[in-house]
Structure 1
Amino acid sequence: MADATVTDLYEVTMALSYLREDMVRPATFSCFVRRLPPERGFLIAAGVESVLDHLAGFRVRHDDIEVFAQALQRPARELAPLADLRFTGEVRAVPEGRVVLANEPLLEITAPLPEAQLVETYVLNQLSHQTALASKAVRCVLAAQGRPVVDFSLRRTHGTEVAHTVARLGAMAGFAGTSNVAAAHAEDLPAIGTMAHSYVEAFEDEEAAFTAFALCHPGPVTFLVDTYDTASGVAAAARVLTALGRGDGSAIRLDSGDLGRLSRRARAMLDNAGLPQVRIVASGGLDEYAVHDLVASGAPIDVYAVGTRVGVSADAPALDSAYKLVAYDGRPVMKLSSAKATAPGRKQVFRRPGCHDVIGLADEPPPTDGVPLLETMMRAGRRGTPRDRRADAHRRLLADVAELPGTARRIRSPEPVRATVSHQLSVLSERVQRRTEREILAPFGADG
Structure 2
Amino acid sequence: MTPAPTGRPARALQPAPDAIEAWTDRYFLKTKQTIARFGDKTVCYALFMRRPVLFTPGLMLDWLRAAMAARDSAFEVRLNYAEGDWVGAGEPLMYLIGSFYHLVDLETLYLQKLGAACVAAYNACAMVEALPRVAFIAMDARHCAGTEMAEQMAYAAAVGSRAARKRVNAVGFVGNANDATAHYFGRERGLGTMPHALIGYAGSTVRAAEMFHETFPDEDLTVLVDYFGREVSDALDVCARFPELAAAGRLAVRLDTHGGRFVEGLDPQNSYAVLERHVPDAIRHYRNETELRFLTGTGVSAAAIFWVREKLDSAGYPKVRIVASSGFNVEKCEVMADVAAPIDVIGTGSYLPENWRETYATADIVEYDGVPSVKIGREFLLKGRRPQTP
* TM-score above 0.5: yes
Aligned position for 1:318: 358
Q: Is 1:163 matched up with 2:146?
A: no
Report the 3-state secondary structure (helix = DSSP H, G, I; strand = E; otherwise coil) of the residue aligned with 2:24: coil
Query: Is the alpha carbon distance of 1:187 and 1:87 closer, same or farther for their aligned partners in structure 2, counting shifts above 3 Å?
Result: farther
- CA distance in 2 between counterparts of 1:161 and 1:113 reads 27
SS of residue paired to 1:31 = strand
For residues 191 and 287 of structure 1, the distance between their equivalents in structure 2, rounded to whole angstroms, comes to 21
Cross-structure match for 1:55? 65
Amino acid paired to 1:230: E
Structure 2 residue 345 is the aligned partner of structure 1 residue 303: yes
Equivalent of 1:184 in 162, 165, 182: 182
Query: Contact 1:25/1:329 (CA < 8 Å) preserved in 2?
Result: yes
* 276-285 or 190-199, larger mean C-alpha shift: 190-199
Distance 1:284 1:317, change over 3 A: farther
* Aligned mate of 2:134, from 135, 142, 147: 147
CA change 1:334–1:31 in 2 (3 A) is same
For 1:268 and 1:345, locate their aligned partners in 2 and report how far apart those are by CA, in whole Å: 55
Contact 1:147 1:303 in 2 (8 A): yes
Among 288, 296, 309, the alignment partner of 1:267 is 309
Deviations, residues 295-343 of structure 1 (Å, cap 9, x unaligned): 2223211111102x323x113553353211111122211212xxxx111
TM-score (norm 2): 0.74
Instruction: Give me the whole-angstrom Cα distance separating, in 2, the residues matched to 1:314 and 1:245.
Output: 37
- Farther off after superposition, 197-206 or 168-177: 197-206
Kept after mapping to 1: 8 A contact 2:44/2:367: yes
2:271 paired residue number: none
Tell me if 1:193 matches 2:155.
no
Equivalent pair of 2:116/2:360 in contact (CA under 8 Å): no
Q: How does 1:44-443 map to 2 (within 5 A)?
A: 44-58=54-68, 86-93=72-79, 94-174=81-161, 175-184=173-182, 188-189=186-187, 191-218=190-217, 219-228=219-228, 229-242=230-243, 247-256=248-257, 257-307=299-349, 309-311=350-352, 313-316=353-356, 318-336=358-376, 341-343=377-379, 347-348=383-384, 361-362=385-386, 374-377=387-390
TM-score normalised per structure 1:
0.65
1:117 alignment partner AA: V
| Aligned-partner Cα distance in 2 for 1:296–1:209 | 35
Q: CA RMSD in A?
A: 2.4
Structure 2: segments with no counterpart, 5+ residues: 1-11, 162-172, 258-298
For residues 89 and 213 of structure 1, what CA distance do their matches in structure 2 show? 52
Aligned 1:1-12 pairs, distance under 5 A? 2-3=16-17, 4-5=20-21, 6-12=23-29
Higher alpha-carbon Rg: 1
Unaligned runs of 5+ in 1: 37-41, 61-84, 349-360, 363-373, 378-448
Which residue number in structure 1 is paired with residue 168 of structure 2? none
Given that residues 234 and 269 in structure 1 are in contact (C-alpha distance below 8 angstroms), is that contact kept between their aligned partners in structure 2? no
Q: What percent of counterpart residues are identical?
A: 26
Q: Matched residues in 1 for 2:322 and 2:185: separation? A: 26
Matched-pair contact (CA < 8 Å) for 1:252–1:279: yes
